[in-house]
Amino acid sequence: MSETSTQGIKGVPEFFGCNVFNEKTMREKLPKSVYKSLVRTKKMGVALEPDIAEIIAEAMKDWAVEKGATHYTHWFHPMTGLSAEKHDSFISPTDDGGVIMEFSGKELVKGEPDASSFPSGGLRATFEARGYTAWDPTSPAFIKDDTLYIPTAFCSYTGEVLDKKTPLLRSMEAISEQAVRVLKLFGSDATRVTTTVGPEQEYFLIDKKLYDQRKDLIYTGRTLFGAKAPKGQELEDHYFGNIKSRVHAYMKELDEELWKLGILAKTEHNEVAPAQHELAPIFTTSNVAADNNTLMMEMMRKIALKHGLVCLLHEKPFAGVNGSGKHNNWSISTDTGVNLLEPGSNPTENFQFLTFLVAIIKAVDEYADLLRLSVASAGNDHRLGANEAPPAIMSVFIGSELQEILDAVESGEVIKIDHNREFVIGVQALPKFPKDTTDRNRTSPFAFTGNKFEFRSAGSSINIACMNTILNTIVANSLKEFADRLEGSGDFSADLNALLVENIKAHKRVIFNGNGYDASWVEEAAKRGLPNLVSTVDALPHYTDEKNLAMFEKFKVYTKTELESRTEILLENYAKIINIEALTMLDMAKKEILPTAVEYSGDLVSIAVNKASVGVDASLEKKTAEKVTGLANAISGAIDDLDAQLIAAGGAGDTLAVAKAYRNDVFSAMQSLRAVCDELETIVPEKLWPFPTYGDLLFRV
Ligand code: ADP
Ligand code: MG
């Protein structure tokens, strides 16, 4: 990071990716044949020979050491949702009592972190305790903090997945295989497809000195108390507003650090809520995008501290203003350079596009529960369906042009094929779908935006690996069904036509082009039979539904045991998060808020007594003291209730029962406690209130 100040924006192309062992560096540092093998591995997923790994390791180490690195780490993504790393130095002793810097192919390819303290959801109890990390050569290694970071997958010795990356890589294989089958039918010579992702990341920046005074922010990343400030987001003056110079300095340094790490940081702006911002990178391959997003979140937090700021990535740091999401822009492209979600310029391409479109619509309809649970978390429960983010009901927005085309296909008007095997639709080609008419609906969870889908339900702090694993697998599933049906078809045109019509009919209920925030949509969706899994505890148990299990097993993305363990981990994590929040509330209420109430009412009473002793009217003090005492009593009662609910929840039964008790009972006791404390805040003098207010946090950056 120290180099930043000397590198102005001017030299961006020169320093972009300077800390990444990227294609350019590899071409420079590796013998041609080794470079070619590695490219083959990256592009086609073929295994790497051990002697090749040896040469790559040596080159990587030399490059890293040249750049000042002394250590390396296998960087992985366990089920905590955070990244994990254990650093080893390159040193190796020599006979003469010195050291040399060494790094072997074996060390590059495989690592053995002590995995026993990562959540495994029972996997390690049942199976082998040890886990290992395996190099993912498709995601580039990079240098940070004098350490060479090697992106890896994390598995148990018996092959069970213990991380978020492995299933993503498996799902990318699955969708590639099935998409290529479908593409063949259209005469494409693509041999591989990759899914691409561009995650738009929202976040808040607040002053570190204020942050340090609030236990809720420190322990939970969100405010658990806080009366509304006189101003919120009602003037809509923050969205795309001028960027304050302190924030600008932060963004500048962040960009530079991300660029050095080869992350394509592109768009920055102020978001809807005060103190809220967004950073969007240019899209890249799904697994690299997932790695980059994790790294980006880490850098966002770290660099904020250097500017006396704290970056909040929680989904709902403040009640009453918008929370933060992460829009997962997703598409599929071929190794021949075609974006499959780009409506084509000729009829064949357009029908290929429609086939993929219908496959996606079918996938969302059949596996809406999975998509919903892929974004389920305690933090995101505050947003979904709260009119700041799409509802918990999964639906697809396609816009009016595409809707007309699907209607036409459904009513049998469109598909014909001439003797040259070219599709003909009256005017030859479908119209281009202008992006600006498809990008308007911000209320849809899954919107077509011209040449990609934007999955908008994700929360800001989530690791995007899981949702992309699910997205890839459910679409692979549709594509497999299509390929199974169409391969060997005698009359491709007629059979494709029939297949599309059938699937449009069967799945059009999931298409919704209206306002997803409208209350009437909830009713309408229920009529259509679409699931509305309101909270995390409603959604997560569906992981292991028979149909979902069968699908994941079919594509070897998750086994039954892996799914069970994931459900267990996520439910447990959910309960733990609410538990920490509840304990933090109790701590703040007992040690900070109640003592403030006692102090203030005491002051008021003394003043009242003094005033009365000299015959001055003390009715205001008396009235206020009574009000404060009344609220303090209510707070005390709410504390007792929350205490009791916590004890009850802990003993509610199995993991699901415990999680449900936290959701239904603990959570509502927390809200009751907050309500009375927030009311107290509105009548206590500012100088007595024990921690910074919403006004301070949101407007004093
Ligand atoms: P906005 O949503 O603000 O209008 P864009 O639509 O241009 O902005 O892009 C939003 C995000 O979508 C960016 O991260 C961009 O890189 C990403 N994106 C664009 N094309 C694709 C694609 N083919 N696959 C995945 N992501 C994409
Ligand atoms: Mg967007």
Q: What is the pLDDT of residues 272-310, one digit of tens each?
A: 889 999 999 999 999 999 999 999 999 999 999 999 999
In whole angstroms, give the CA distance from residue 541 to residue 531: 13
pLDDT at 470 exceeding the cut of 50: yes
In ligand 1, the atom with minimum distance to the C-alpha of 449 is: 6
- CATH class belonging to 9-163: alpha beta
* Between 118 and 237, the higher pLDDT residue: 237
DSSP annotation of 246 reads: H
Identify the weakest region by mean pLDDT among 216-230, 265-279, 628-642: 265-279
Indicate which ligand has the atom closest to the C-alpha of 269. 1
- CATH class belonging to 171-558: alpha beta
Is 480 exposed, middle or buried (CB count within 10 Å of its CB: 0-12, 13-18, 19+)?
A: buried
Which residue's CA is the nearest one to ligand 1's atom 4?
Answer: 439
Q: Which residues contact ligand 1 via a Cβ below 6 A? A: 196-198, 200, 280-283, 329-331, 339, 439, 449, 451-452
Region 194-207 average pLDDT: 97
Decide if 367 contacts 402 (C-beta within 8 A): no
Pocket test for ligand 1, best of 196, 441, 444, 452 (most atoms within 8 A of CB): 452
In whole angstroms, give the CA distance from residue 191 to residue 24: 24
Identify the pLDDT of residue 428.
Answer: 36
For all residues of the chain together, what is the average pLDDT? 91
Indicate which ligand has the atom closest to the C-alpha of 442. 2
DSSP annotation of 661 reads: H
Region 545-563 average pLDDT: 96
For the chain, which residues make up each domain, given as ranges?
9-163, 171-558, 572-699
User: Roughly how many angstroms between the first and final C-alpha of the chain, as a whole number?
Assistant: 24
In ligand 1, the atom with minimum distance to the C-alpha of 329 is: 26
Per-residue b/e over 201-232, b at no fewer than 16 CB within 10 Å? bbbbbbbeebbeebbbbebbbbbbbbbbbeeb
Tell me which residue has tokens 């007629």. Answer: 494
* Type of residue at 485: R
Q: Identify the bridge partners of residue 75 per DSSP, sorted by sequence position.
A: 151
In ligand 1, the atom with minimum distance to the C-alpha of 281 is: 14
In whole angstroms, give the CA distance from residue 681 to residue 489: 71
Q: Which helix (H) or strand (E) holds 546?
A: helix 546-554
In whole angstroms, give the CA distance from residue 594 to residue 697: 22
Identify the pLDDT of residue 700.
Answer: 86
For 314-370, the pLDDT digits (tens) are 999 999 999 999 999 999 999 999 999 998 776 667 889 999 999 999 999 999 999
Which residue's CA is the nearest one to ligand 1's atom 23?
Answer: 331
- CATH class belonging to 572-699: mainly alpha
Q: Which of 451, 430, 415 is nearest to 346 (CA)?
A: 430
Give the chain's largest Cα–Cα span.
107
pLDDT above 90: percentage of residues in the chain: 76
Using the mean position of ligand 1's atoms as its centre, give its distance from the Cα of residue 277 in Å. 17
* DSSP 3-state of 266: strand
Q: Identify the bridge partners of residue 568 per DSSP, sorted by sequence position.
A: none
For 472, the token pair is: 């890839």
In ligand 1, the atom with minimum distance to the C-alpha of 283 is: 16
Pocket test for ligand 1, best of 288, 329, 453, 471 (most atoms within 8 A of CB): 329
Identify the pLDDT of residue 45.
Answer: 67
Decide if 584 contacts 619 (C-beta within 8 A): no
How many residues does the structure list for the chain? 701
The two domains 171-558 and 572-699 share their CATH topology (first three levels equal): no
